[in-house]
A and B are shown apart, each in its own frame.
Chain A
Amino acid sequence: MSIDWITVAAQLVNFLVLVWLLKRFLYRPILDGIDAREREISDRMAEAAQIREAAETAAAEHHAETQRLKAARDGALEQARAEAAAERDEMLSQARARLNREQESRATERAQEARQYTEKLHQKGAAALVSLTRKALNDLSGETLEDRIVARAISRLGAMTDDLKAAVGDSRAAVVTTRTPLPDNLRTQIDTAIADALPGTNVRYATDPDQSPGLSLRLGGAQLGWTVDGYVDGLQEILSDAEQKRRSDAA
């Protein structure tokens, strides 16, 4: 066991050379490569972090936008609901008003129809009454009725003397027309009555089968009549006046 100091020196130099060689060709390239790779990984991580941050920001913005759109949609829906409700209420109101108007119109129409129907009914009733009365009077007219009509005419002539004088003027011809020939007693009573009212008047008697039962007297230009038709016409006028008065009261 001995030490060769020349060899020691040579080995020392060899070792130092080996340190330099390995530093040059092993450690530095390997460590620099690892450092470069770590830097690259770090850069990529930083880039990934930036991308992640950007993605998170974008996600946050998207979420906010979604929330905003949702809020806007909810608002629009609420507004649409309110508008729909208002429109529905408006339409219901209009429908109710239209319905009320139609109901009122229908009621008016019904009232009008009822009134017209009533009027027609009254008219038809009055016409039927007049017709029935006329028919009844015509059917029932006879000697007694004519006597009563003549008596009535004689009594009226006395009350109408002044009016007759004014209407007749200078004429002194009188024509008494009946449907059937008058009996003599009735003719006598008529002659007497006319002579009392209009002295000097010549009375002539005539018959007309188409005339209504009763008596018709023509004095000059004046025409007096006491016939069934005349009474029925008077009844019809009364009914017409009553109907006119009821219409004016209804209006």
Chain B
Amino acid sequence: MEMTPDEITVFTVGGFTVNATIVFTWIVMAILTLTSILITRNLRPDVPPNRWRTTLEAVVLTIQGQINEISARPDRRVLYFAGTLFLFIFVSNLLAIVPGWHAPTGSLSTTAALALAVLVAVPLFGIASRGIGGYLRSYIEPNIIMLPFNIIGEFSRGVSLAIRLYGNVMSGAVIAAILLGVAPFFFPVIMDALGLLTGVIQAYIFAILATVYISSATEVAETEPKAAVTKDQT
């Protein structure tokens, strides 16, 4: 029994092994992209929205609403990043009910890649918002003694993100596989339903945590000028 789709080789191109993780990721990407293209291809202001477009608008606006509740300064780039995280993880986990599907999020490589993306995106958003000096200064706040702890905290956040998602998805798949051997006609249905719920929750948690990290890196920029003004006034 494979614990991760990384171990399933689909085909090899020029010595490069293309495993199931990458292939199923492409499938998810294709589904999301083609669905978006099909729904938004005829999008004009004078054309009244149909139910698919309305559904897609509701999804996007819900994601944006969640981001706006967390972030003090909503940014479309955060929506692009966190929204893609949510949709990718959500669709990957949702397709787990399809027989033979191997969720890419059940691969530690995928979750690590996503966590790495968050790990890189947080300082990028912070630097874009505060400038490189302002962002790096946040590592030595409240004093320079906190520098190693802040660095460790930054990396541990990425690791926890990766492990949490991988653990939840992989454990669900493993437990479902074990129960399939014990009681093949009953427990897999319950576990699949539970896996759907878990998958949705994990997608939400991953995207929300990424948004929180990005917002925490950018919100400092909002408080600094206020502090300066307060100091001037006193």
Contact = CB atoms under 8 A, between A and B. Distances in A.
B88 interface: yes
B151 interface: no
Contact of A33 (B37, B45, B108): B45
Interface residues of A, number: 32
Interface string A1-24: 111111111111011111101110
Interface in A1-60: 1-12, 14-19, 21-23, 25-27, 29-31, 33-34, 36-37, 40
A10 B45 CA distance: 38
A11 B21 contact: yes
Given A18-B84, A27-B76, A30-B60, A7 B109 contact: yes
Contact of B22 (A7, A21, A25, A26): A7
Contacts of A3: 108-109, 112
A204 B76 CA distance: 174
Contacts of A36: 45
Interface in B62-96: 64, 76, 79-81, 83-85, 87-88
Given A7-B19, A30-B56, A31-B60, A25 B33 contact: yes
B114 interface: yes
Nearest to B38: A25
Contacts of B166: 1
Contact of A7 (B3, B21, B56): B21
B80 A4 contact: no
A30 B22 contact: no
A18 B89 CA distance: 12
Nearest to B107: A7
B56 A11 contact: no
A210 B126 CA distance: 170
A13 B48 CA distance: 36
Contact of B83 (A14, A21, A27): A27
B117 interface: yes
Nearest to A15: B117
A30 B62 CA distance: 13
A1 B3 CA distance: 7
B104 interface: yes
Interface of A: 1-12, 14-19, 21-23, 25-27, 29-31, 33-34, 36-37, 40
